Structure 1
Amino acid sequence: MRNRVKIARIEKGNLTQTELAKKVGITRQTLNLIEAQKYNPSLKVCLLLSKYLEKGLDELFWLEESE
């Protein structure tokens, strides 16, 4: 699964990882792993990120053809 969380976070007003992580109830380290494409978040976290960043799920997350 790929994502555009980092881009959306910056577009939202240049939020820090710490600020966004706090808003959605995860650690900064977890958000860092999500943005680095090294961790696939739960559906709940995806929905919370989508809601706070004001982006649709399909704008933030997608599957690569090979997945």
Structure 2
Amino acid sequence: MEHQGKVAAGLIDFKKYEQNINLLKACQLLIEPMEVLIPFAPKLELPPHVFKKMRTKNHYLTLIKAM
């Protein structure tokens, strides 16, 4: 909401904003994919009240790999 207010007031320098976006895009191109192994994955257990355990565990492992 603060950002929207600044845009409405004309306080955002969109030229600098676009430069920053382009810099981030260029940095993302330099990132190389790598395989992530989670050696403790077999030991991870979900609480018994979790509804869809297989799907939830997959989401959890994907989150760990992303970090």
Question: TM-score normalised by the shorter chain: which range applies?
Answer: under 0.3
Q: TM-score, normalised by structure 2?
A: 0.21
Work out which structure has the larger RCO, using CA pairs closer than 8 Å and 6 or more positions apart in sequence. Answer: 1
Structure in which a larger fraction of residues adopt strand: 1
Larger Rg: 2
